Structure 1
Amino acid sequence: MPIYGYVCNKCGHGFETLLYAHETAACPSCESTDLDQQLSLIAKPAKGGPDVPMCDGAGGCGRCSPDLCA
């Protein structure tokens, strides 16, 4: 199941949340529902593979925004 992150178009806050069917996400900072949905790329290294993070935590990996990495 994909995990989605959101960036608020009103205040710029980035966050992730778990939603169930028919729920709407709202920014925890300003409560706006005007959000851009982004796919979070979270993966566990393969067994026997390198144990290095896919993201550098600053958005430099090209897979996410700095707001979602922090």
Structure 2
Amino acid sequence: MPIYEYRCAKCDRSFEAFVRPGDAAECPHCHGSKLTREMSTFAARGSSGDGAAAVASA
């Protein structure tokens, strides 16, 4: 089940929600349903010696 980020048009708050295909999200603060999906960022874990610095400097 994917996690999406939304912004509510009614209260102007951002939140994340688990949304199944075909289901509609609702603002947990004001229960508004007029939402816009925001661009999500992702987190990645790596070790300090994963070679990322070498790639960045190349």
Report the TM-score, using the length of structure 2 for normalisation.
0.68
Q: How does 1:1-70 map to 2 (within 5 A)?
A: 3-45=3-45, 47-49=50-52
After the TM superposition, list the runs of 4 or more consecutive aligned residues in structure 1 that deviate by more than 6 angstroms. none
The percentage of counterpart residues that share the same residue type is 35
Deviations 1:15-40 (A, max 9, x none): 00111111100000000110111121
TM-score by length of 1: 0.58
Give unpaired runs (5+ residues) of structure 2: 54-58
Which has the larger share of strand?
2
| Residue 43 of structure 1, CA deviation | 3.1
The runs of 5 or more residues in structure 1 that have no matched partner are 51-70
Higher helix proportion (structure 1 or 2): 2
- CA drift of 1:9 comes to 0.3
Larger of the two Rg values belongs to structure: 2
CA RMSD of superposed structures (Å): 2.4
